């Protein structure tokens, strides 16, 4: 019981101390107006707040994220091949890959992958 209480105490005190030290060290003593002004992607913050945004670029980024997560789901299929039933492994992996390819085909046919408008 003593070891449990000691480890709980350490796990609460250590992060608290690290956060306090980080807060103290992160305080800026010199406030420069130019350095504290917002700067994003090379746009001047003093101009219009409504800069043109490419919706096509955003759509491509979202599609990339979706397929990137699905690739991360495909990777373990190779590792479980030796420990699972070969027929069930083949059916489930082919179903998943077919689902991915049909999603890609749908995005292609909808024109989401065309860069030029």
What's the pLDDT score for residue 43? Answer: 58
Distance, CA of 68 to CA of 63 (rounded, Å)? 8
pLDDT in tens, 1-54: 788 888 888 888 999 999 999 888 887 666 666 666 666 666 555 655 566 667
The DSSP result for 47-61, as a single string, is S-S-----HHHHHHH
In this prediction, residues 49-63 reach a mean pLDDT of 74
pTM score, whole prediction: 0.47
CB atoms within 10 A of CB 104: 14
Q: Which residue has the tokens 């019981």?
A: 1
Return the domain boundaries, the chain. 54-117
Q: Which residues contact 73 (CB under 8 A, 6 or more apart)?
A: 96
CA distances from 4 to 1, 16, 58, 80 (A): 5, 19, 49, 37
In this prediction, residues 104-111 reach a mean pLDDT of 86
Q: Which of 69, 30, 35, 55 shows the shortest CA–CA distance to 112?
A: 55
């Amino acid at each position: 019981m003593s070891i449990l209480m000691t480890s709980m105490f350490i796990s609460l005190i250590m992060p608290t101390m690290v956060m306090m030290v980080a807060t103290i060290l992160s305080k800026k003593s010199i406030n420069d107006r130019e350095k504290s002004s917002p700067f994003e992607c090379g746009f001047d913050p003093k101009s219009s707040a409504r800069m043109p945004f490419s919706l096509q670029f955003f759509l491509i980024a979202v599609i990339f994220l979706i397929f990137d997560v699905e690739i991360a789901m495909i990777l373990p299929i190779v590792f479980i091949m030796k420990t699972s039933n070969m027929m069930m492994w083949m059916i489930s992996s082919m179903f998943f890959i077919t689902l991915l390819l049909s999603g890609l085909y749908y995005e292609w046919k909808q024109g989401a992958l065309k860069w030029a408008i």
